[in-house]
Structure 1
Amino acid sequence: MAEVDPITVDEMYTPRHPEGAERILNRSFAPRRAGLLYALVDDLDIGPGNVVLDIGGRDASHSIALVKAFGCDAVSVDPVDSNNERARAAVAEASLTGQVSIRPGVMEEIPAADGEFDLIFSRDMFFHVVGADQALAEARRVLKPGGCMVLYQTFATDRLEPLEKAQIYAGLAVAPERMSPDDFEKRALVAGFTIESNDIIGSEWREAWEEEGDCLTSRQLLYAARMIRKSEQLRAELGEADYRVELANALWGIYTMIGKLEPRIFLLRNPE
């Protein structure tokens, strides 16, 4: 970050806003909501008869939401056995076994036929992908000509310091090379996609959650404070792996809110 001139003590304590800076700041600046992602899918006219690939589908919650919202079919692909077990249970509970299928697999080798899908839906999972070129080539292979990929991904900004990167990347199984939006754009173009939009979300969704009372990031700030202050105790209670994951996840949310991390939505199209 560029250096700035320091504020003087006089400037710091001289009132400039009779109504108070807190009143100016304590108002909403109309952040967009997470529903924006589904609105984008809606704009693509996904509906009955279409098939969506939910890559890195975890517990299939997004697959279920897409099917309920648009009447499409969905395939959730995830490499983690426990995720797929939870996904099958969730699909059965939602009575959507006929519309949502679960397939073990990774993005670098998608278990699907050529041109099987009308849409690929990817929510904050691409930073796990090591072989980005192979993954994007596979994504294009399984998409129909003219099909789209909606990719929500968190990237690093120049505010994120090296030690901060090291901690959260190690704690969340992040491939550091995936955290550059410029690198992602270059690889997507090389894979043959066209980039129809690159929408910077930044802190908007998290601002909205705070304003709506969910306060996820506030809780993560509290958790991080506890885990740092009571590190020894909580490492013993949680175990080393869970401690590192939970701390990194809490910091991820905080860093997103203050601009060290920057979520974006890319809309990619497989040319006709």
Structure 2
Amino acid sequence: MIVRLQAAFRAAGCDPDRLTLDEIAGIDQLHLGGRAASRSLAALGELRPGERILDVGCGTGGASRLLAAEYGCTVVGVDITAAFVSAAERLSVATGLAEQNRFLCADAARIPLAGGAFDVIWCQHALMNMSHLPAVLAEWRRLLAPGGRVLLHEVVAGDNPEPLALPVPWARTAATSHLKRREALEVSLAAAGFGPVCVHDVTETALAWRQKHGRREAGDAPARRLPGPALIFGEEFVEMGRNLAGNLAAGRVRILEGVWRRTD
């Protein structure tokens, strides 16, 4: 993946060893809403400079870098995919943020870090890939300091029981999609010791964003010169995006952003 990324940035006229957050936005904010969604969640969670954040399911590290650069936080990103972790490390070096970010390849249910080491657990579009939710949430509670917060931006199952149109960015088959209904997710968070502070349904905003970007990806708007999500997801990405928009519009999935606090 790193070789592919370097070649793509060179082809776009960029130095792959010296990149800006604007230049890499297309391949490091892979969730619905991009950087705007990350900033919305950060504002909802009232992040403060110096806070210690664990970015669960960090992918290529985009949210980790944004939180370091714009909010003055120190961030550890964790992802189970080694290629994403390697790309995240390389991109943080290229953007001059390596001292504020570090990345770890690990299962979200078994993270080899000390308990109570974080003020915030940050997670965007990752739980729907995890089949073992109680174990993941127990690990979050262990890793959070007393009074710590969970900031979550997540895809959940909608009210429409029809099967998902597949593939989507998180799953190519139904067997690898682990969507939870909002009610079940909130029950699981409460059982794990997290109380809700503020929870919003942001489906309509997410759908509008996906439709806008879908037109661009399909060629109805001028193509971006900089590398985009297809570099990460492959040739199926346009179909994935189209299916995701369809699932959102049909009510098969919805998008939540929210803050929960560890109860003690």
Q: Pick the TM interval, shorter chain.
A: 0.7 to 0.9
Contact 2:41–2:258, Cα closer than 8 Å, also in 1: no
**Aligned mates of 2:255, 2:245 — CA distance in 1:** 11
Choose the corresponding residue for 1:266, options 235, 258, 262: 258
What is the match of residue 247 of structure 1? Answer: 239
Q: Does 1:65 align with 2:66?
A: yes
**Aligned mates of 1:140, 1:75 — CA distance in 2:** 16
What is the match of residue 118 of structure 1? Answer: 119
Q: Does 1:149 align with 2:141?
A: no
What is the match of residue 218 of structure 1? Answer: 215
Letter in 2 for 1:104: C
How many residue pairs get matched? 219
Q: Does 1:202 align with 2:218?
A: no
List alignment gaps of at least 5 residues for structure 2: 1-32, 220-229
Structure 1 pair 61–103 and aligned structure 2 pair: CA distance change class (3 A): same
177-186 or 72-81: bigger deviation: 177-186
**Aligned mates of 2:141, 2:90 — CA distance in 1:** 30
Please list, as runs of the form range in 1=range in 2, the aligned pairs for 1:107-186 lying within 5 A after superposition: 107-162=108-163, 164=164, 168=168, 171=172, 176-186=177-187
Q: C-alpha displacement at 1:52, in angstroms? A: 0.7
Structure 1 pair 182–119 and aligned structure 2 pair: CA distance change class (3 A): same
TM-score, structure 1 normalization: 0.70
**Aligned mates of 1:74, 1:96 — CA distance in 2:** 10
**Aligned mates of 2:44, 2:156 — CA distance in 1:** 25
Letter in 1 for 2:67: L
- Cα RMSD after superposing both structures: 2.9
**Aligned mates of 1:269, 1:133 — CA distance in 2:** 17
Matched-pair identity in %:
21
**Aligned mates of 2:134, 2:61 — CA distance in 1:** 25
Q: C-alpha displacement at 1:47, in angstroms? A: 3.0
**Aligned mates of 1:174, 1:62 — CA distance in 2:** 27
Q: C-alpha displacement at 1:176, in angstroms? A: 4.8
Please list, as runs of the form range in 1=range in 2, the aligned pairs for 1:92-111 lying within 5 A after superposition: 92-111=93-112
What is the match of residue 13 of structure 1? Answer: none
Q: C-alpha displacement at 1:97, in angstroms? A: 1.3
Q: C-alpha displacement at 1:111, in angstroms? A: 2.5
Letter in 2 for 1:150: L
Contact 1:59–1:83, Cα closer than 8 Å, also in 2: yes
Q: C-alpha displacement at 1:254, in angstroms? A: 2.8
Contact 2:134–2:188, Cα closer than 8 Å, also in 1: yes
In terms of fraction of residues, the more helix-rich structure is 1
Cα deviation, 1:131-180, whole Å, max 9, x if unaligned, reads: 10000000111011111111111112122513x36765851677555331
Structure 1 pair 57–112 and aligned structure 2 pair: CA distance change class (3 A): same
Instruction: State which structure, 1 or 2, has the greater radius of gyration over its C-alpha atoms.
Output: 1
TM-score, structure 2 normalization: 0.72
Contact 1:64–1:96, Cα closer than 8 Å, also in 2: yes
**Partner-residue secondary structure (3-state), 1:35:** helix
**Partner-residue secondary structure (3-state), 2:254:** strand
List alignment gaps of at least 5 residues for structure 1: 1-31, 224-237
Contact 1:154–1:264, Cα closer than 8 Å, also in 2: yes
Contact 1:192–1:270, Cα closer than 8 Å, also in 2: yes
Higher RCO structure, 1 or 2 (CA under 8 Å, sep 6+) = 2
Structure 1 pair 165–253 and aligned structure 2 pair: CA distance change class (3 A): closer
78-87 or 32-41: bigger deviation: 32-41
What is the match of residue 248 of structure 2? Answer: 256
Q: C-alpha displacement at 1:216, in angstroms? A: 1.1
Contact 2:56–2:108, Cα closer than 8 Å, also in 1: yes
Q: C-alpha displacement at 1:204, in angstroms? A: 1.1
**Partner-residue secondary structure (3-state), 1:266:** strand
**Aligned mates of 1:132, 1:54 — CA distance in 2:** 16
**Aligned mates of 2:126, 2:103 — CA distance in 1:** 17
Cα deviation, 1:106-134, whole Å, max 9, x if unaligned, reads: 21112321111111110011100111000
**Partner-residue secondary structure (3-state), 2:49:** coil
